[in-house]
């Protein structure tokens, strides 16, 4: 194939690292890409782990040192799927080395770090993209299109939730996400719904919030009797005001029994409403007022070829995309940006803006007052 | 029939007045009541309107003056379905006349008024009941039972919504609900979800909120070009802390296109979750964690005879109650209380406590700060 | 009130008898009726049972003999909610006495009986109405309206189901429904979906079917070890051809675990589709093709005042009717017919036509061949 | 990687050809496969089309002649995604050349052809697999497991549907599927639900059916005024008896407006029920009777890592597989069979048995009688 290669260096091979590898492998088969991704180099905690993962995920080479990866001249793009604490050092090193960066969310452990990273990206003038993959759903593009075309009128309300239950077991062991700099449920899951809110509605200006740590300690490892104190939020509830005046609520929880992927929203406009949940992410519910007396109601729209880029995956409607397909669309957006075909979204600046909302929310909760969200 | 009569005097014959009349007529046929309701006297704005309504609704007599009704020795119970501004004077007069009172929600236009009414009821030692009829749903009783029996563990989160669209048309005319003392969406609809939150979870301690008047003026009457300024909230978003430490959000809106009766909640516990919407009020969704590997999920429970008092209406499951049936259950609760068989709930004190939450929420929104809810 | 009375004589006081009493009591409060129903006389198996039921349900008088009721000059209408075997003798006696008849479904135990009854009704020129109450749902009227107005094009397919689980327990005792003349699931429940199919689509011309008796014996009474052989169908599956050429399937079962009221259908037209289940009977799903690129899908329409006679019960949309309300609408239709305001539907002739389909289906199943449905 | 290669020769590059290519590309990244698929050779109608498709789909080589592909010594497996009429000649040639065959459904245009192919496969002792990919859903494996473990008791009823609307437009042009040997809706879509019925319930013994051609002619090509007569079924309704005595219905339609992928079933057992639709194929609804008084209902189970091989794609529950992932699972099953690790299912013999049901159904419809399904 005549496309120039894009040699990917991936740091990290866990859940999201593997998703990256699958997506890079798939993207060129689904889309007509301007560059051909090549799985060049995988770095992980040590050489042994890295070698095994490289073999499993199909990378040409492996390394036990991410610094080596960043410096490798045969790496065109640095993809970061490492633990959150590594996001900043790896990204800064990559940008310093003049390389574009594809980083998993949340961008950083703190707003300061995220701001630094956004500034470094701006200074380096390199493409950056942060993995808020749920934004890449064709049905979310449809929601944005419906809003843009004034089909639900002026937006007036937003309710956003991201609830899961993967920490609902009080004996789920202490992990990096429970460290103070790990962030808690609002950073881990809340950042998804905040990015969605920003994508669909716009800047968030101010926030009031309440949070709680329900399980105040966790075993140091699975089955251990020794426990470690947890101080990050398990659950967060916030009310917010967008810069446009739209009001809303946002919630995040990783201890909601029964919810596996309730990344959900309802958007109210003056002439209609939208309703969505990632639990059924190939569907969007739309209501438009005053069109059809006696036959009105929410319409359940199923994703299909008329909702790009669904048709690149499957030519027939109703067949459904899967989670891994969203990552493929994200990789396509990244590669288009790298080829100069379209701007990257969400980039480091956008992710820092998300972080500013998280930061404001956490302060609002701890200080029990409305907090103005810092502009990035 | 040998039951002693309960001679009802009803003030008001609109939507809720008619619902009262239907419910009093039905209750004795569905339930084995200790008292037999008799539709004795109907009062409305003037004698002509009252006479027509009395004829239509099956009352023996009519009056153009509610004071006459309150004073009538043949009236055993004063039922108030008049505009909100009349709730206080009618109720106080009835209590002063030594009569029990059945009053539509919201109890009063202001917290001060509601508190006065609650104190008057306490002083008079008369039964009072306020028409938060959605609490009377057998499925809500089931939710309460599930919580009480620890089936979902310790409650840790609450999300409550009451959204409708009956004011979504910007040209819906100005009405008493748009008067500053009318209260707005949070008082009109929010009071339902606040009463639900208190019934299922308990006292609300503090609240932060944001509200907005989207349609800032409305025609003085349908089709008029003259418009009147609206200052009450169309939409309210709040975050709250219950006295028990449970966190939650509450929203109210009467301008959410497509929502006709989204009185909805999700309750999170440490071991399970509940989900409900009045849009399908014969159903309750229940999740219980860790019971059944690979077969877990939300169970949709349909109302049936095992959920009292459903079986009094229909002996077979799945046949469904209607809105008017909830009012019949409310009347049954009222009559049981009048006969001394059980305490009345929600009484004036409870309704004043609901009002205290509304009042705190409105202040929190206008003052942009957390407000502690006043104890009643 | 100035309306002439309609003095009701009711035979039977079980589930459906009580539903009749409630409906007669409610109808005049909900609707502006041409006649005022009076609960005049209740007949049951013996005088003691009848007296207790009359007291409970609000009838003026009681009798242990339905013949007395039929002959009573103070009875204007004979309502039959007695066991199926009594439908024919009571109805024929009532018609012979020159009285209109309101009879529960199924009309009779056999097609011959049903035909006799339909002929007697025609000869007597009296109003008859059979209690297929699910037809009275405002949402079913909407479905009919949508079809009539060509909104889904020419109808081409029908799938109908009536499944419940009230006989799913193999130890549920033998009852009259298990007698050969009782009819089985297809007669008991299938008659509902057959009546729906006829109401919405039209005459059924031919049928092929398979049926099975899953629980081949049942205890003679609850808890008994002695068992009685059951020969009627527990479950019936049929394919059918309507007179118009529309094809479809119909199923009935009283042993489908989890189904409490799955009276459900999907109707396919050349331009759209309808989907309904009695499990959520305040909703109708509608799809119309080619109207709205990228925004198409099934619309869930909630019952509201624009779907008569919903508004007679509740002026606001989304509040929902209950099962007992459907019976109230049926009684209203009956009284309108008695007052000459509109034809009664479904009358004995229509119910006999339903029975002809049941009869054809049972023969088709036992003879393993297509059977032409007899014309009534 | 040390795995031996599996050099794939693919015939056809349309919708399903592309799905094959994607699946072969993905399978080795998702699963730890015994063989490494290599996209060796693509054959299509002519050399130009083939070359373009090979480039696009990532095949090493291209050919305008499938015979060349079958004969190519560097092709280890022949995959057939060509028009239905080619299934038989390609498959027979491949088997004759001693090669395993992976063929899209339906296996052949007629039962005779399918039987020939099954016999050839048996004679050749080569692995064959037919692309009824919906069987590969982890949630379908769960349904099978639930049945096998007696969790819903003895199966007693089955309702199966496959309805779409891709031929609902009367001006959709005439295509090979409208040729008499193309088969119609029952062959095209019905074969999916028949394969599902056989997989979950077992052999089908007899069938009665009715079918119709609603759109009796179609344009010779899009927009043409010349039309060609269609004789195949647009819609099929059948009742059937399984060899085990279970009764059921099956329907197929490609003209049901609004249905994009209603491959749906309800399975009734003596102790529980299952409900599924491909429209939400990451969910299975399960009801089990008598376990939990007052809390019973259908439980909606979301696909997760406890439902293999979901976890190979995504380690977290609720994230959802997509349509293309089902094809990846199918390819994994094929490769396991080629490596001798497990039998291939559904193979040519199974697909011929599906065809026998289709054939019996079409005859039953045209001859208006019950037809016994031929044993393969």
Nearest CA in chain C to D242: C210
Q: Which domains does chain D show, CATH number per domain?
A: 5-133 (3.40.50.720), 134-317+348-372 (3.30.360.10)
Q: Phi, psi at residue B245, to the nearest 5°? A: 100, -15
The number of beta carbons lying within 10 Å of the beta carbon of residue C65 is 15
- Alpha carbon of C318: minimum distance to chain B alpha carbons (Å): 5
Within a 13 Å sphere around the CA of A315, how many CA atoms are in the beta-carbon half? 8
C216 at A interface, C-beta within 8 A: no
| Interface with C, mutate which of B318, B326, B327, B331 (most C CBs under 10 A) | B318
SS3 state of residue D118: helix
Average of pLDDT values for D328-349? 97
DSSP B111: H
Classify residue A89 as exposed, middle or buried by CB count within 10 Å of its CB (0-12, 13-18, 19+). middle
Over residues B276-306, the pLDDT tens digits come to 999 999 999 999 998 899 999 999 999 999 9
D1 has a pLDDT exceeding 80: no
Q: Nearest by CB to C256, which of D168, D169, D273?
A: D273
Nearest CA in chain B to D138: B294
A343 at B interface, C-beta within 8 A: no
- Chain A residues with CB under 8 Å of D62 CB are none
**What is chain B's length?**
376
Average of pLDDT values for C28-56? 95
Under 8 Å CB pairs connecting chains B and D tally to 42
Q: Nearest by CB to D257, which of C208, C240, C287?
A: C287
B20 contact partners, CB below 8 Å, separation of at least 6:
B8, B10, B79, B81, B102, B327, B331
Q: Phi, psi at residue A291, to the nearest 5°? A: -105, -20
The kind and range of the H/E element at D164 are none
C1 has a pLDDT exceeding 70: no
B141 at D interface, C-beta within 8 A: no
D256 contact partners, CB below 8 Å, separation of at least 6:
C157, C268, C273, D163, D164, D165, D168, D235, D262
Q: What chains are in contact with D, requiring at least 3 Cβ pairs below 8 Å?
A: A, B, C
B137 at A interface, C-beta within 8 A: no
DSSP D264: E
- Chain D residues with CB under 8 Å of A304 CB are 260
SS3 state of residue A284: strand
State whether C258 and D298 contact (CB < 8 Å).
yes
State whether C300 and A295 contact (CB < 8 Å).
no
CA A203 to chain centre: 17
State whether D156 and C245 contact (CB < 8 Å).
no
State whether B301 and D297 contact (CB < 8 Å).
yes
Under 8 Å CB pairs connecting chains A and B tally to 137
- Chain C residues with CB under 8 Å of A300 CB are 297-300
pLDDT of residue B182: 74
CA distances from D199 to A38, D187, D344 (A): 40, 17, 13
- Chain B residues with CB under 8 Å of A165 CB are 289
Helices (H), chain A: 15-30, 47-57, 66-71, 84-96, 111-124, 138-148, 185, 191-200, 310-313, 323-338, 348-367
State whether C294 and A302 contact (CB < 8 Å).
no
CA distances from B279 to B235, B264, B265, B276, D295 (A): 19, 8, 11, 9, 20
Average pLDDT score over chain C: 96
CA separation for the pair D308, D301 (Å, rounded): 14
The number of beta carbons lying within 10 Å of the beta carbon of residue D269 is 25
Average of pLDDT values for D315-344? 97
| Interface with D, mutate which of B148, B284, B295 (most D CBs under 10 A) | B295
- The Cα angle at residue D177 between residues D172 and D179, in degrees rounded to 5: 105
C276 has a pLDDT exceeding 90: yes
CA separation for the pair C358, C374 (Å, rounded): 10
Average of pLDDT values for C212-232? 96
Q: Is C237 left (phi over 0), alpha (psi -120 to 50) or beta?
A: beta
D168 at A interface, C-beta within 8 A: no
State whether C146 and A295 contact (CB < 8 Å).
yes
Average of pLDDT values for A277-294? 96
**Which candidate, D31, C27, C79, places its Cα nearest to that of A56?**
D31
Tokens of B77: 């119970």
DSSP D201: T
pLDDT tier at C179, thresholds 50, 70, 90: confident
Within a 13 Å sphere around the CA of D179, how many CA atoms are in the beta-carbon half? 9
- With 0.80 as the threshold, say if the pTM is over it: yes
DSSP D232: S
C109 has a pLDDT exceeding 90: no
**Which candidate, A251, A259, A258, A247, places its Cα nearest to that of A234?**
A251
C182 has a pLDDT exceeding 90: no
Tokens of A308: 């790009």
The number of beta carbons lying within 10 Å of the beta carbon of residue C14 is 14
State whether B257 and A159 contact (CB < 8 Å).
no
Within a 13 Å sphere around the CA of C285, how many CA atoms are in the beta-carbon half? 20
Q: What chains are in contact with C, requiring at least 3 Cβ pairs below 8 Å?
A: A, B, D
Tokens 């009128």, residue located: A153
Tokens of D334: 């094929």
Over residues A108-126, the pLDDT tens digits come to 989 999 999 999 999 999 9
**Which candidate, A261, A263, A265, places its Cα nearest to that of A275?**
A265
Determine contact, residues D91/D120, Cβ cutoff 8 Å: yes
pLDDT tier at A183, thresholds 50, 70, 90: confident
pLDDT of residue C78: 98
pLDDT of residue C15: 87
> What is the pairing mode between strands C227-229 and C217-219?
antiparallel
- Alpha carbon of A223: minimum distance to chain B alpha carbons (Å): 17
**Residue segments in chain B with a per-residue pLDDT below the cut of 50:** 1
CA separation for the pair D327, A319 (Å, rounded): 12
pLDDT tier at C80, thresholds 50, 70, 90: very high
pLDDT of residue C73: 97
Q: Nearest by CB to C260, which of B32, B164, B302?
A: B302
> What is the pairing mode between strands D235-242 and D247-253?
antiparallel
Average of pLDDT values for C115-136? 98
Over residues D286-300, the pLDDT tens digits come to 999 988 999 999 999
pLDDT of residue A182: 74
**Which candidate, D347, D349, D345, places its Cα nearest to that of D115?**
D349
A168 at B interface, C-beta within 8 A: yes
CA distances from C352 to C105, C161, D309 (A): 10, 20, 54
Rg of chain A on CA atoms, in Å: 21
Question: 3-state SS string over A137-164?
Answer: CHHHHHHHHHHHCCCCCCEEEEEEEEEC
**Which candidate, C86, C95, C82, places its Cα nearest to that of C53?**
C82
- Chain D residues with CB under 8 Å of B295 CB are 146, 151, 286, 299, 301
Tokens of A241: 């005001």
**Percentage above 90 pLDDT, chain C:** 92
ipTM metric: 0.95
State whether A297 and C297 contact (CB < 8 Å).
no
- Alpha carbon of C319: minimum distance to chain B alpha carbons (Å): 6
A217 at D interface, C-beta within 8 A: no
C72 contact partners, CB below 8 Å, separation of at least 6:
C9, C40, C41, C63
D155 at C interface, C-beta within 8 A: no
Over residues C143-170, the pLDDT tens digits come to 999 999 999 999 999 999 999 999 999 9
CA C316 to chain centre: 28
pLDDT tier at A1, thresholds 50, 70, 90: very low
CA dihedral angle for residue D206, residue D210, residue D213, residue D214, rounded to 10 degrees: -140
CA separation for the pair D144, D339 (Å, rounded): 25
Its sign, for the CA torsion A160, A165, A166, A171, is positive
Determine contact, residues C207/C239, Cβ cutoff 8 Å: yes
**Which candidate, A346, A330, A355, places its Cα nearest to that of A114?**
A355
Chain D, 183 to 212: residues with Cβ < 8 Å from chain C are 208-212
Determine contact, residues D354/D195, Cβ cutoff 8 Å: yes
Under 8 Å CB pairs connecting chains A and D tally to 103
- Alpha carbon of C227: minimum distance to chain D alpha carbons (Å): 19
């Amino acid at each position: 194939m005549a496309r120039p290669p894009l040699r990917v260096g991936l740091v990290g091979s866990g859940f999201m690292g593997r998703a990256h590898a699958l997506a890079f492998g798939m993207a060129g088969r689904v889309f007509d890409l301007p560059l051909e991704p090549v799985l060049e180099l995988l770095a992980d905690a040590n050489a042994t782990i890295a070698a095994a993962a490289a073999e499993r995920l199909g990378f040409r080479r492996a390394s036990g040192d991410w610094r080596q990866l960043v410096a490798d001249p045969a790496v065109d793009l640095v993809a970061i799927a490492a633990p959150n604490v590594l996001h900043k050092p790896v990204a800064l090193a990559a940008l310093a080395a003049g390389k574009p960066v594809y980083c998993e969310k949340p961008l950083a452990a703190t707003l300061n770090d995220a701001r630094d990273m956004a500034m470094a990206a701006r200074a380096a003038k390199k493409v950056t993209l942060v993995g808020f993959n749920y934004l890449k759903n064709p049905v979310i593009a449809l929601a944005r299109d419906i809003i843009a075309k004034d089909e639900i009128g002026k937006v007036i309300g937003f309710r956003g939730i991201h609830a899961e239950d993967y920490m609902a077991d009080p004996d789920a062991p202490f992990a990096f996400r429970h460290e103070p700099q790990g962030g808690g449920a609002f950073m881990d899951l809340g950042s998804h719904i905040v990015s969605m809110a920003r994508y669909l509605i716009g800047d968030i200006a101010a926030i009031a919030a309440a949070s709680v740590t329900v399980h105040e300690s966790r075993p140091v490892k699975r089955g251990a009797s020794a426990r470690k104190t947890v101080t990050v939020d398990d659950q967060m509830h916030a009310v917010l005001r967008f810069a446009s005046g739209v009001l809303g609520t946002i919630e995040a929880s990783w201890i909601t029994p029964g919810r596996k992927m309730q990344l959900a929203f309802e958007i109210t406009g003056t002439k209609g409403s939208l309703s969505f949940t990632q639990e059924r992410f190939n569907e969007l519910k739309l209501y438009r007022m005053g069109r059809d007396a006696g036959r009105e109601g929410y319409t359940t729209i199923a994703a299909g070829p008329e909702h790009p880029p669904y048709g690149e995956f499957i030519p027939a409607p109703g067949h459904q995309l899967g989670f891994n397909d969203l990552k493929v669309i994200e990789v396509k957006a990244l590669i288009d940006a790298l080829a100069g075909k379209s701007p990257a979204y969400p980039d480091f600046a956008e992710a820092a803006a998300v972080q500013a909302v998280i930061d404001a929310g956490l302060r609002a909760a701890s200080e029990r007052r409305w907090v103005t969200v810092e502009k990035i």
